[in-house]
């Protein structure tokens, strides 16, 4: 199997970039507060990593492609700077991130408490995210940088997660226009997948059912219906059952790889999207790329307690290549 097919691939990731923050508190050091009737969380360690679209970008860079651009919105706050830093550590180009004043950087802070056993228990999360649409000026910036970066890349990945994220109606229209012009675009959207046209969509089986009038049918049928809606090929992921690829009207079921031992599904969908886009841009067929994406997900679900990535070597090893 040639290892160099991804070497020259350039990818743009546009969507809802987030910062994941973990605060590890040693409760054996906690002493009742003198001012309040509470035991504080003595934080001993802090870990930050890119989440949301950032996790997709980090997974793509782990495949040693030539370039990954991040297109999205951050706030003018410390969380935005930290997000830039975590992306830079993953070799993601952050020059196309737009700063929006008076807006939070999307951040999920997860306090993790542990005691004498050392076993961590996650507490209620602290969420920072936009509660209203981005302003017109920021939207124009996003449209401008998307048009500019699209000329530099082989494939665009869209991560449309939040109600008030950077994928506004106008941005979505621009993405669809790029797809209609021949640019390869992969889209992952939790709630708006059926609104995309002329792009390759990648819903999971539940999202696919919701997108076709909420009718619970098999993934193969839903993949065909969604391809008819979008006018492009469709991939529906089905967890431990692998995925379904509808390519040029032909439906193929791509089985998952056997998973043994402890499993953590967090981020598996991001890993799948990353590998699918990168391998397709590298010249592999859509079905082969989906097979490698299944393998990549199989690698990361075994990396328990962290949102892991999968290297080319790990992926090819799972595939027996």
- The DSSP result for 1-20, as a single string, is --S-TTTT-EEEEEE-EEEE
User: Residue 262 has what pLDDT?
Assistant: 60
Non-local CB neighbours of 317 within 8 Å, separated by 6+ positions: none
Q: Where are the alpha helices (DSSP H) in the chain?
A: 53-61, 78-89, 136-150, 169-180, 205-211, 219-230, 268-281, 286-300, 312-319
User: Residue 107 has what pLDDT?
Assistant: 96
Q: Answer whether 172's CB lies under 8 Å from 27's CB.
A: no
User: Residue 214 has what pLDDT?
Assistant: 64
Highest-confidence segment of 143-152, 206-215, 267-276: 143-152
pLDDT in tens, 51-73: 999 999 999 999 999 999 999 99
CA 169, CA 184: separation in Å to the nearest integer?
20
Here the tokens at position 319 are 């595939």
The pLDDT-based confidence of 4 (bands split at 50, 70, 90) is confident
- Mean per-residue pLDDT for 145-157? 97
Q: What are phi and psi of 148, to 5 degrees?
A: -70, -50
The pLDDT-based confidence of 265 (bands split at 50, 70, 90) is low
**Nearest CA among 211, 215, 261, 213 for reference residue 236:** 211
3-class SS of residue 246: strand
- Mean per-residue pLDDT for 172-198? 96
The pLDDT-based confidence of 165 (bands split at 50, 70, 90) is very high
User: Residue 318 has what pLDDT?
Assistant: 83
Q: Answer whether 44's CB lies under 8 Å from 15's CB.
A: no
Here the tokens at position 137 are 């000026």
As a dihedral over the C-alpha atoms of residue 269, residue 19, residue 81, residue 22, rounded to 10 degrees, the angle is -130
User: Residue 246 has what pLDDT?
Assistant: 96
**Which long-range contacts does 175-178 make (Cβ < 8 Å, 24+ apart)?**
175/14, 175/146, 175/199, 178/146, 178/150
CA 184, CA 198: separation in Å to the nearest integer?
9
Helices 286-300, 312-319: inter-axial angle, 10-degree rounding: 100
Non-local CB neighbours of 173 within 8 Å, separated by 6+ positions: none
If you search the block for the tokens 């962290």, which residue do you land on? Answer: 306
CA 160, CA 175: separation in Å to the nearest integer?
12
Is this model's pTM higher than 0.85 or not? yes
CA 96, CA 71: separation in Å to the nearest integer?
5
List the CATH code of the domain at 10-19+50-106+131-319. Answer: 3.40.1190.20
Q: How far is CA 227 from the centre of its chain?
A: 22
CA 6, CA 260: separation in Å to the nearest integer?
29
């Amino acid at each position: 199997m040639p290892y160099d097919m991804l070497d020259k691939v350039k990818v743009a990731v546009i969507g809802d970039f987030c910062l994941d923050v973990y605060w590890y508190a040693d409760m054996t050091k906690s002493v009742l507060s003198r001012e309040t009737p509470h035991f504080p969380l003595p934080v001993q360690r802090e870990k930050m990593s890119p989440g949301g679209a950032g996790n997709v970008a980090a997974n793509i860079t782990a495949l040693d492609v030539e370039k990954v651009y991040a297109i999205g919105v951050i706030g003018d706050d410390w969380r935005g700077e930290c997000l830039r830093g975590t992306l830079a550590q993953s070799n993601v180009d952050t020059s196309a991130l737009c700063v929006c004043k008076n807006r939070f950087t999307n951040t999920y802070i997860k306090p993790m408490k542990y005691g004498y056993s050392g076993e961590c228990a996650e507490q209620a999360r602290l969420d920072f995210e936009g509660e209203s649409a981005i302003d017109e000026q920021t939207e124009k910036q996003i449209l401008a940088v998307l048009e500019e970066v699209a000329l530099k890349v082989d494939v665009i990945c869209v991560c449309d997660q939040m109600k008030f994220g950077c994928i506004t109606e106008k941005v979505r229209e621009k993405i669809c226009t790029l797809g209609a012009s021949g640019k390869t675009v992969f889209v992952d959207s939790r709630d708006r997948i059926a609104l995309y046209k002329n792009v390759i969509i990648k819903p999971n089986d539940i999202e696919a059912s919701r997108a076709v009038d909420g009718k619970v049918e098999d993934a193969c049928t839903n993949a065909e219906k969604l391809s008819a809606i979008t006018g492009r090929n469709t991939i529906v992921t089905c967890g431990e059952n692998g995925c379904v690829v509808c390519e040029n009207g032909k439906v193929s079921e791509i089985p998952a790889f056997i998973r043994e031992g402890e499993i953590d599904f967090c981020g598996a969908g991001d890993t799948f999207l990353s590998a699918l886009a990168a391998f397709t841009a590298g010249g592999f067929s859509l079905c082969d790329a989906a097979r490698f994406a299944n393998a990549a997900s199989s690698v990361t679900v075994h990396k328990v307690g962290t949102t892991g990535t999968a290297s080319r070597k790990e992926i090819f090893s799972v595939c027996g290549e």
